[in-house]
Amino acid sequence: MADHDVATRAPESDAQEAPSAPVGQSIFPGDTPAQAGPTMGDHCTTDRPTPTGEIPTGELAKLGGVDVYVTKPADYPHAPSKLLLLLTGGTGYKSTNNQLQADKYAGEGYLVVMPDQFDNDPAPNSVDMTQLSQDASWLDSIKLKTAEGMKAFMIDMWLARHTPEKVLPLLHKVVEGAKEEFADAVSNGGGIYGVGYCFGAKYILQLAGEHPDTVAWGQEAPKDEEQGTVKKAPVIKAGAIAHGTMVTKEDLEAVKVPVYIAAVKDDPLFPEDEVLTPGRRAMEKNNVEHEIQVFPGVPHGFAVLGDYDDPKIKQSQAQAFGEMLGWIQSH
């Protein structure tokens, strides 16, 4: 069986597509038409099986009035650390897999803050998509199709509740709270680092960009061109993302700090022709340090911590973590 087949057949696939907007439109106002079509998949709404025997070691807390998961190096604060902002997919900060992922970065010397960017409203759980048996009734088939449609509808409604206008203000509260609570880690790292997966990848890119002041804080761009000309500097000093969703070429065009991008080959959720390639050209033109690595034969969402039967996906998951960690370590 070819690698591509492995990556797209159940049960390994995390790339179930759910259309979120009419053709030519985006769930986010102002985004390019390239973002119409598939927007979220099962990778963002359902965790993979948790690796056996692993238990999160961090704690739930609040920063800037926002719920967060915080995990620290074992020798902190006796040894210096650096602050890392980790933004998740739709499963959110209470996901065991996401917490374990944060712990892995903490094990490498980072004080990790993983915020509840969904304000206690994580993505709807995926319905059971188990294959019907050969003797399943016609009614069972209808029920399955109805469940699929209902899941897509629920995800669309959820996405409509979590736009940049809602998410960015929460993130800025967390950043300001972290600067106060963990000033030593921010100072030691010379700023804040960021990593993002799936839904969270878009927002790491936005925090890595230079935007009009209002837009940077999750507000609409001013109608009057004479207003809002002051640009907000990037919030993070370097970032690394994996298989972003809802990313636009404008997000990449605005990036001003070093970024690493782990992408999936032929990924409809992060299209190469409409988003990745023009974004790469823009970063080259703007002299922004960047690296884009495309992983073939894996499903969208492969880099999110979770168990797979396929050894190739497991290997790619470990490789992506190593590349993302190496990028922020080198910056």
Domains and CATH numbers, the chain: 3-329 (3.40.50.1820)
179-208: per-residue pLDDT in tens?
999 999 999 999 999 999 999 999 999 999
pLDDT given at position 46: 76
Reported as a pLDDT band with limits 50, 70 and 90, residue 37 is very low
Euclidean distance between CA atoms 202 and 158, whole angstroms: 16
pLDDT given at position 129: 36
Instruction: Between 200 and 155, name the one with better pLDDT.
Output: 200
pLDDT given at position 181: 97
pLDDT given at position 297: 94
Q: What is the pTM of this model?
A: 0.79
Reported as a pLDDT band with limits 50, 70 and 90, residue 128 is very low
Reported as a pLDDT band with limits 50, 70 and 90, residue 141 is low
What 3-state class would DSSP assign to 44?
helix
Euclidean distance between CA atoms 209 and 125, whole angstroms: 32
Strand 66-71, strand 59-63: pairing: antiparallel
pLDDT given at position 126: 42
265-299: per-residue pLDDT in tens?
999 989 999 999 999 999 999 999 999 999 999 99
pLDDT given at position 47: 83
**Taking 90 as the threshold, does the pLDDT of residue 167 lie above it?**
yes
Give the residue-averaged pLDDT of 26-40. 41
Euclidean distance between CA atoms 212 and 198, whole angstroms: 25
**What residues have CB less than 8 Å from 18, skipping those under 6 apart?**
38, 39, 40, 41, 151, 152, 155, 156
